[in-house]
Chains A and B, each alone.
Chain A
Amino acid sequence: MILIPQLAVRNILGAGLRTWLNVIVLSLAFVAIILSVGFNRGLLQQASTAMIDAELGGGQYWQGEYDPYDPFTLQDAHAEIPEALANLISSGKATAILAAPGTLYPDGRILPVTLRGIDPHQTILEIPSRFLDATAETPQALIGARMAKSGNLGIGDYVTVRWRDRHGTYDARDIVITQIMNTTVPTVDTRQVWLPLRTLQEMTNMPDQATLVVLDKNQTQAPEVAGWSFMNLDFLLKDLHDLVKTRLIARSVLYVILLFLAMIAIFDTQILAIFRRRKEIGTLIAMGMTRSKVIQLFTLEGMLHGVLAAGLGAIYGTPLLAYFAKNGFEIPQSGAGFGLAIGRTLYPYYSTTMVVGTTALVMLVVTVVSFIPTRRIAKLNPTDALRGKIT
């Protein structure tokens, strides 16, 4: 029966200001949710891409002792590169990294760092290792902008580095900074000093050894290698996912409140409508409408708030979302990318599934909130309703 939708539309539009207030609040909740989820998606995507490009590649082989969560293991986390991995490296599908704890002495200060040896000719990671010359007299070092700032170092500066070789003997030497790179990924920058792999192997007396072997990001095969464990991207990006999820939950408090307000407004509107229009309900029943039809009518009226809100949200939300998706969102300097590898500009990411999903979820909640107050119609006595009495 087309009657009910038509009547519902008339009634809700006839209710004027109140309807629009509800619709505006609900549409704000709509847009805020989609915007927020989009930002988090963008955050996650942007950060994962940057981390994959600069650090993780298509996954990493870890030498058995290596545990990035326990810095004390680093001293012993090295081993000769097994043949299977050496083959991957020589065919350009992987690159080796040797990591060792060290100390930097810039301007007489003490700065604990991780020394990282990388092949200057590698193309697996977006680290400008080509600026490193393994044959130079003084070992050449590449550092990130954050590291440069904390060590007060510039290109051409010499700095003393101290480390222990494989036997635990301390040794010290001057290195020269040949390049400072700008990266959004803090883990390849903060307290990291990149040296040519060969040079670090010589300094530590660990020829042909490595701590990690990073696969090319297009490399899908990861053969089992004894003594080394392969860590796939799911594992390596888990922290990031967790972090973004936590952030999303923290943020969602805001729009849950907004949504909650909208729901209360609709709930209240429904209760009031049923009370104010009790005579009309009685009349509808007297004219031969069944109570369940009347319930349908009022529920639909409530649901129409959701439909109108989705429409209104689409009107002002679409250009807004499109603007952010295209131009990105400037992250305030103080926020410094929420500690994530995302650079200055965040590009939110929206998918149809996400928008449809959010809409469906909000509509479901609106439906429930619209329906609950109408249950009193089921218990309503039409003669009481006609007399303007309600029980």
Chain B
Amino acid sequence: MQDSVQIEARHLCKTFPMGQQQVVALEQVNLSFREGEFAGLVGPSGSGKTTFLNIAGLLDVPTGGNITVMGQPSDGASHKAAAALRNRHIGFIFQTFNLLPVYTVFENVEFPLLLQGMPKSQRKDAVWQALEWVGILDKAKARPSQLSGGQSQRVAIARAMVKRPAIVLADEPTANLDAKNSHNVLQTMVKLNEELKTSFIFSTHDEKVIQYLKRKISLEDGRVVEDSEAEARKHEAELQ
């Protein structure tokens, strides 16, 4: 059980300097995520969801406590090591999609593999596979500017998934999508989670997302106030 832990945060704290004061974004957060999670950080605006995802993705460093991601403690990771780890194991999905405008859909999805230095023939197969997962094969030659929001986000999912990462971190992936597209995108992610055992960790305050979550973690003012899995485990322990 222990070796399937992918992210382990202990007493994680993050404060931001704000003029003279310090803004507390995370306070004493203890969370662990295992292989195959489909978990969401839920909470009001400013509760620290994005901050946690950034730290979990080694894009930011905590100011207190520690976090280990795919066996890599964040305090020992150089910028380069963190980049390598993200490149191999972590996919990002953003609220605003963040596709590269000068590349086609195919090339956008291919990009992480190019970064990895994967040979061309392998790359091609992987990209087509990823486009198939998200059901956007017909748009392979389109530019991001020619896509709808839902299509863009599906391309972004394909881009995150193409390298078959262990973890996908998705910061409010449905915030810019309408209801229909939100469900569509979520169903795609559920499917990938089940088929490939990829862990998904979301941040959201979207009810539509919440109903798909297997695990719901509520944050308030940087603290974990509720963790459905921890409760379930406690419940299990009580029963035994």
Q: Mark A348-391, 1 if CB is under 8 A from B, else 0.
A: 00000000000000000000000000000000011100100000
B103 touches A (CB below 8 Å): yes
- CB neighbours (8 Å) of B92 from chain A are 283, 286-287
Scan A127-146; emit 1 where CB is below 8 A from any B CB, else 0: 00000000000000000000
What residues of chain B lie closer than 8 Å to A3, measured between beta carbons?
Answer: 114-115
B18 CB–A CB distance under 8 Å: no
Q: How far apart are B50's CB and chain A's nearest CB, in angstroms?
A: 8
Does any Cβ of B come within 8 Å of A10's Cβ? Answer: yes
B87: CB under 8 A from chain A? Answer: yes
Decide if A279 touches B98 in the complex (CB within 8 Å): yes
B54 touches A289 (CB 8 A): no
A residues near B116, Cβ cutoff 8 Å: 288
Please measure, in the bound complex, the distance between the C-alpha atom of A41 and the C-alpha atom of B101, giving whole angstroms. 48
Cα separation A386 to B117 with both chains bound (whole Å):
25
- Interface membership of B83, Cβ < 8 A: yes
Residue-by-residue, is A307-341 near B (CB-CB < 8 Å gives 1, otherwise 0)? 00000000000000000000000000000000000
Of A10, A11, A280, A382, the residue contacting B59 (CB under 8 A) is A382
Is B60 positioned at the interface, with any CB of A under 8 Å from its CB? yes
Contacts of B223 in A (CB 8 A): none
- Enumerate chain A residues within 8 angstroms of B49, measured Cβ to Cβ: none
Contacting residues of chain B (80-100) with chain A, CB-CB under 8 angstroms: 80, 83-88, 90, 92, 94, 96, 98, 100
| A279 in contact with B87 (CB, 8 Å) | no
State in angstroms the CA–CA spacing of A290 and B83 once bound together.
6
Interface size on A, residues (CB 8 A): 22
Count, chain B residues at interface, CB 8 A: 28
A288 touches B98 (CB 8 A): no
The interface residues of chain A lying within 8 Å CB-to-CB of B57 are 286
Would you call B94 and A287 a contact (CB within 8 A)?
no
For the complex, what is the distance from the CA of A228 to the CA of B84, rounded to whole Å? Answer: 79
Residue of B59, B60, B96 ringed by the most chain A CB atoms within 10 A: B59
Q: Residue A159 at the B interface, CB < 8 A?
A: no
Q: Are B59 and A287 in contact (CB under 8 A)?
A: no
Within B53-96, the residues touching A (CB, 8 Å) are: 54, 57, 59-60, 79-80, 83-88, 90, 92, 94, 96
| List of A residues within 8 angstroms of B103 by Cβ | 10
Q: For residue A291, which residue of chain B has the nearest CB?
A: B79
Q: Does A14 contact B (CB under 8 A)?
A: yes
| Interface pair A383/B88, CB less than 8 Å apart | no
- Chain A residues 7 to 31 lying within 8 A of chain B, measured CB to CB, are 7, 10-11, 13-14
A24–B39 CA distance with the chains assembled, in angstroms: 54
Which of chain A's residues have a CB closer than 8 A to the CB of B96? 279
Question: Given the interface contacts A10-B102, A283-B98, A283-B100, does A383 sit within 8 Å of B111 by beta carbon?
Answer: no
Q: Is A1 an interface residue (CB 8 A)?
A: yes
A214 to B240, CA, bound (A): 119
Residues of B within 8 A of A381 (CB): 60
Q: Does B40 contact A (CB under 8 A)?
A: no
Which A residues from 250 to 295 make CB contacts under 8 A with B?
279-280, 282-283, 285-291
B contacts, CB < 8 Å to A = 54, 57, 59-60, 79-80, 83-88, 90, 92, 94, 96, 98, 100-103, 111-112, 114-117, 159
Known: A285-B59, A288-B85. 16 other contacts (CB 8 A): A279-B96, A280-B100, A280-B101, A283-B98, A286-B86, A287-B159, A288-B83, A288-B84, A288-B87, A288-B88, A288-B116, A289-B83, A381-B60, A382-B60, A383-B54, A386-B94
Query: Residues on A close to B: CB < 8 A?
Result: 1, 3, 7, 10-11, 13-14, 279-280, 282-283, 285-291, 381-383, 386
28 A-B pairs with CB atoms under 8 Å apart are A3-B114, A7-B100, A10-B102, A279-B96, A280-B98, A280-B100, A280-B101, A282-B98, A283-B100, A285-B83, A286-B59, A286-B86, A286-B92, A287-B86, A287-B87, A287-B115, A288-B84, A288-B86, A288-B88, A288-B90, A288-B116, A289-B83, A290-B83, A291-B79, A381-B60, A382-B60, A386-B54, A386-B98
